[in-house]
Amino acid sequence: MKTQSQRFIPVCYQLNSMPVSNRKRNQHLLCRAAFGPMLENLASLEHTSQKDLWELLLTGSNEAPSELKGTDITMEVSAPGITPGAGKALANETKKILRKQAQEQLKSLNLQWLNEMIHSQAQLRERMSLFWHGHFACRINNPALQQQLLHTIRMNSLGSFGDILKAVSKSPAMLRFLNNQQNRKQKPNENFAREVMELFTLGRAAYTEADVKEAARAFTGWGFDAGGQFVVRQNQHDTGNKTFLGKSGNFDGDDILNILLEQKATANFITRKFFRYFVNEEVSESKITWLSNRFYQSGYNIKSLLQDIFTSEWFFNPENIGTKIKSPIDLIVGIRRYIPMDLNNEAIQLLLQRSLGQVLMNPPNVAGWPGGKNWIDSSTLLLRMQLPKMLMGMSDADFQPKQDDDQMMGQGELSAVSKYRSKITRGIATVDWQPVIANFEATPRISLFKAITNSLIQTPGAVDENLVKPYLDNSSRQTFTRSAIIHLMSTPEYQLS
């Protein structure tokens, strides 16, 4: 018999030509355009059309989002470490208190956003916000600036790419993270200009070093004040002539962004990233060309690009279903959307994020999370498959985040992590199984395992019941349903969407 880790590799890539059921098509749409089915949606997925489901996703995300506040985010933007020279006179003990306060506020903001992903009707908006959160990756320890950037992304996630690009580029969080506060005439700092081109718009090899230098001159003076508001310090701005991507003029930062948006390479770069994130890591060049041309012609309308993807028949081809490794956030949120539960300590989700390799608002670097097979290694795969049993109280937790405080958000200080590990035992969550079991009440007993499998597993082919059967509790229909769900969620196949 193959081990679980051996089973994981072929299941990612072995495809078949079996027809895709309506349920699986709908689940595929919900896994990619949202965070998977919500428990109350399960029954309707058999008969709902993909067109109607897409319209529901759009309608659910029509309203502007409320700003997530975290818990008492009151830190001044000018606190130590936020603006150069601020707070130098403060005692070390005061600085320590402020850092601790910032860590707690960031954790609170993290958990509030995670809760939105789980419970919000605006699933498409939150999914797109997570995408842009990785695209415009930013890691700073100021909760006020992180809150501001997150709200900017959530507000603009489904609008125009030009709008979100300009809003994020002027956000104090990004300007600070990419050092543009230090970008002055005669002493240009090229970091911000380089990343705007390489990571946000054109991609590598679409510009020259001369373009970087000229763009950096155009962005001189861009910064923010002590109140967290974008400002252009004219006395620090280079007003000389610049030549950028073949154009010359007395350009400022807005001019550079507009010139970048004029480039079809920008539409191609963003479209390619969409395709790899929402469809398949193996891209189709013909589809990229078609999608990017329409995206460019639409004026970078994000909803239009998403509609072209999610309403195309090829999106539902078997080779695109069940082949994407779930991110840690997808895994945590997906489980909680399927099974109603109250966590006895919400902060456990921070530890899980760190242990699985994706902490919200704390990307590994400016390029964001690489995704794909990078989500999986021997330790994270084991934890992924233990997670459902841990949450449902069938096993004790046995995991510990890596000691890397650069990405820990202070979790090492939270409870000395190594001690916290031994305290994570059964009873992490209180689960409400009744509505879950009710979803399968009309299913004949002989078909029950197959029905549960079809609602959870997206990979081509089904999980062999004989592999799971020895672990199922047959003492009653209810216990069978519970144990089947938990053990199916613990398979390598469940790691794919």
- Which residue, 474, 487, 493, is CA-closest to 392? 487
Contact 172/225 with Cβ under 8 angstroms?
no
What integer pLDDT is reported at residue 420 of this predicted model? 41
320-328: average pLDDT = 97
What integer pLDDT is reported at residue 428 of this predicted model? 84
Q: Which residues contact 313 (CB under 8 A, 6 or more apart)?
A: none
What integer pLDDT is reported at residue 422 of this predicted model? 37
Confidence category of residue 417, pLDDT binned at 50, 70, 90: very low
17-34: average pLDDT = 92
Residue 175 in this model has a pLDDT that exceeds 90: yes
Q: State whether 358 and 460 are in the same domain.
A: yes
Residue 406 in this model has a pLDDT that exceeds 50: no
Final residue before a domain boundary, out of 256, 288, 320: 320
Residue 304 in this model has a pLDDT that exceeds 90: yes
Q: Which residues contact 131 (CB under 8 A, 6 or more apart)?
A: 157, 274, 277
Confidence category of residue 397, pLDDT binned at 50, 70, 90: low
86-111: average pLDDT = 84
Q: State whether 411 and 460 are in the same domain.
A: yes
The C-alpha atoms of residue 72 and residue 68 are separated, in whole angstroms, by 11
List Cβ<8 Å contacts ≥24 apart for 59-65.
60/121, 60/122, 60/123, 60/124, 61/121, 61/122, 61/123, 61/124, 61/125, 61/158, 63/122, 64/155, 65/116, 65/122, 65/125, 65/151, 65/154, 65/155
Residue 80 in this model has a pLDDT that exceeds 50: no
Confidence category of residue 340, pLDDT binned at 50, 70, 90: very high
| pTM recorded for the entire structure | 0.91
What integer pLDDT is reported at residue 92 of this predicted model? 81
20-37: average pLDDT = 97
Residue 128 in this model has a pLDDT that exceeds 50: yes
304: amino acid identity, one letter: S
Contact 216/189 with Cβ under 8 angstroms?
yes
What integer pLDDT is reported at residue 87 of this predicted model? 54
390-411: average pLDDT = 60
400: amino acid identity, one letter: Q
For the chain, the average pLDDT equals 89
What phi, psi does 230 have (nearest 5°)? -65, 135
pLDDT in tens, 456-494: 999 987 788 888 989 999 999 999 999 999 999 999 999
What phi, psi does 355 have (nearest 5°)? -70, -30
- Tell me the C-alpha to C-alpha distance, in Å, between residue 387 and each of 334, 417, 489: 12, 18, 9
pLDDT in tens, 370-389: 999 999 998 899 999 999 99
Q: Is residue 472 part of a domain?
A: yes
Residue 294 in this model has a pLDDT that exceeds 70: yes
The C-alpha atoms of residue 81 and residue 89 are separated, in whole angstroms, by 12
Confidence category of residue 143, pLDDT binned at 50, 70, 90: very high
What integer pLDDT is reported at residue 421 of this predicted model? 44
Confidence category of residue 17, pLDDT binned at 50, 70, 90: low
Residue 171 in this model has a pLDDT that exceeds 80: yes
Final residue before a domain boundary, out of 320, 348, 363: 320
382-400: average pLDDT = 81
3-state SS, one letter per residue, for the chain:
CCCHHHHHHHHHHCCCCCCCCHHHHHHHHHHHHCCCCCHHHHHHHHCCCHHHHHHHHHHHCCCCCCCCCCCCCCCCCCCCCCCCCCCCCCCHHHHHHHHHHHHHHHHHHHHHHHHHHHHCCCHHHHHHHHHHHHHCCCCCCCHHHHHHHHHHHHHHCCCEHHHHHHHHHCCHHHHHHCCHHHCECCECCCHHHHHHHHHHHCCCCCCCHHHHHHHHHHCCCEEECCCCCEEECHHHCCCCCEEECCEEECCCHHHHHHHHHHCHHHHHHHHHHHHHHHCCCCCCHHHHHHHHHHHHHCCCEHHHHHHHHHCCHHHHCHHHCCCCECCHHHHHHHHHHHCCEEECCCCHHHHHHHHHCCCCCCCCCCCCCCCHHHHCCHHHHHHHHHHHHHHCCCCCCCCCCCCCCCCCCCHHHHHCCHHHHHHCCCCCEEECCHHHHHCCCCCCHHHHHHHHHHHHCCCCCCCCHHHHHHHCCCCCHHHHHHHHHHHHHCCHHHHEC
Contact 244/260 with Cβ under 8 angstroms?
no
Q: Is residue 106 part of a domain?
A: no
Q: State whether 397 and 483 are in the same domain.
A: yes
Q: Is residue 285 part of a domain?
A: yes
Final residue before a domain boundary, out of 275, 296, 320: 320
Q: Tokens at residue 298, please?
A: 């639409």
Q: State whether 376 and 268 are in the same domain.
A: no
Q: State whether 383 and 419 are in the same domain.
A: yes
Pairing verdict, β 341-343 and 429-431: antiparallel
Confidence category of residue 9, pLDDT binned at 50, 70, 90: very low
Q: State whether 348 and 411 are in the same domain.
A: yes
Residue 168 in this model has a pLDDT that exceeds 50: yes
Q: Is residue 107 part of a domain?
A: no
86-93: average pLDDT = 65
Q: State whether 277 and 359 are in the same domain.
A: no
What integer pLDDT is reported at residue 18 of this predicted model? 66
Q: State whether 330 and 474 are in the same domain.
A: yes
Q: State whether 411 and 299 are in the same domain.
A: no
Q: Is residue 467 part of a domain?
A: yes
Domain count across the chain: 2
Q: Is residue 188 part of a domain?
A: no
Which residue bears the tokens 């709008």? Answer: 163
Which residue bears the tokens 């001369």? Answer: 210
Q: Is residue 473 part of a domain?
A: yes
- Domain boundaries, position 50: 4-60+324-495
What integer pLDDT is reported at residue 278 of this predicted model? 98
Confidence category of residue 367, pLDDT binned at 50, 70, 90: very high
Q: Which residues contact 92 (CB under 8 A, 6 or more apart)?
A: none
Q: Is residue 35 part of a domain?
A: yes
Q: State whether 464 and 315 are in the same domain.
A: no
351-374: average pLDDT = 96
Percent residues over pLDDT 90 in the chain: 78
What integer pLDDT is reported at residue 86 of this predicted model? 52
What integer pLDDT is reported at residue 465 of this predicted model? 87
Q: State whether 351 and 454 are in the same domain.
A: yes
What integer pLDDT is reported at residue 41 of this predicted model? 87
57-67: average pLDDT = 97
Q: State whether 291 and 328 are in the same domain.
A: no
